[in-house]
Amino acid sequence: MSQITAADVKKLREMTGAGMMDCKKALTETQGDLDAAVDYLRKKGLAAASKKAGRVAAEGMVLAKSTGKAGVVLEVNAETDFVSKNEKFTGFVASLADIILDKRPADVDALKALPFDDEHTVEQALAQLIATIGENMNIRRFDCVEVGDGCVAAYVHGGGKIGVLVGFEGDIDAQLARGVAMHVAAANPQYVARDDVDEAAVERERAVLTERALASGKPEHIVEKIVSGQLNKFYSEVCLLEQAFVMDTDQSVGKAIGDAKVTAMVRYALGEGIEKKEEDFAAEVAAQLKG
């Protein structure tokens, strides 16, 4: 077997865009044959994937799926919204949802290590998809919800822009449960009930409302009543059970679901929290001149 040199590894990386360790392994497996090593990486789905790894992926799709008493919501990102209409991409995301529901991995890294099919892990299948479609992609996150005696409702809005899971314990009509999931997508409640609201957030809101009431010249002895009323309004804006139900605004969500209990609520919005890189060419040129 010919000796594998750093120059060989570098050349293979430039040819395929694969990682250094993957290139070294490919060359070792193919006795230093560059062409065979390229084929080896392509078969493993590793060629051309890492060249795209630096590009920001903030599009893609969110998928929510329920099997009755269990559900999953996940986000897989890509660089452009065109990918969300690609059947290979949507099929990949749908397969991930089934794998997660079946295997219940602890996190994204554990998911990537699971078998995707008879020949590839999830990570390898993702690398192949990146190479095929030509965009950077990323399995960003997922959550599972499971109930004992009830149901999990799933809803996807905007072709994958928003995904929602809501878990219910107790007797609830499936159409009503789905309606609550649609409500979560539309109203974006931050908490299920007022007991879930972070105490620091409540005190911060109370301080703002109190200062505002005092500044308006209201007598101190009625400021507390004013603030109490306004805090109730605050709860009705941020808590699911106290929000006016979008399907019937004459009643709250809590009244609409009756004796059923909401045990979990997860809402994903595509790309939320991802900072899209903005090129600053002037700064880049200045940095190069300084160098």
What's the CATH number where 81 sits?
3.30.479.20
Does some domain include residue 99?
Answer: yes
Whether residue 135 is predicted with pLDDT greater than 70 in this model: the reply is yes
Q: Are residues 65 and 130 in the same domain?
A: yes
Are residues 136 and 206 located together in one domain of the fold?
A: no
Closest by CA to 193, choosing from 257, 258, 254, is 254
What one-letter code names the amino acid at 68? G
Most confident of 7-21, 32-46, 238-252: 238-252
For residues 26 and 89, state if they share a domain.
no
Q: What residues does 64 pair with on adjacent strands?
A: 73
Q: Report the percent of the chain where pLDDT is more than 90.
A: 60
Task: Please give the pLDDT value at position 50.
Answer: 47
Query: pTM of the entire structure?
Result: 0.74
More confident residue, 132 or 64: 64
Is residue 277 scored above 80 in pLDDT? no
Beta bridge partners of 142: 74
Are 85 and 28 within one domain? no
Same domain for 62 and 26: no
Domain of residue 218 covers 198-238
Angle (deg, nearest 10), helices 20-29 and 34-43 = 120
Model confidence at 141: pLDDT above 80: yes
Query: Which residue's entry shows tokens 């005092």?
Result: 214
Q: Is residue 134 part of a domain?
A: yes
- Work out the widest C-alpha separation in the chain, in whole angstroms: 90
pLDDT band at 56 (very low <50, low <70, confident <90, very high): low
Residue 85 shares a structural domain with residue 107: yes
Helix (H, G, I), strand (E, B) or coil at 249: strand
At residue 287, the pLDDT reads 54
- Are 205 and 228 members of one domain? yes
- CA pair distance 124, 134, nearest whole angstrom: 15
Contacts of residue 62, Cβ cutoff 8 Å, sequence gap at least 6: 73, 74, 75, 156, 160, 161, 162, 163, 268, 269, 270
What element of type H or E holds 277? none
Burial of residue 22 (CB within 10 Å: 0-12, 13-18, 19+) is: buried
91 pLDDT above the threshold of 80? yes
Token pair of 25 as six digits: 């392994």
pLDDT band at 164 (very low <50, low <70, confident <90, very high): very high
3-state secondary structure of 30: coil
Residue 254 lies in a domain: no
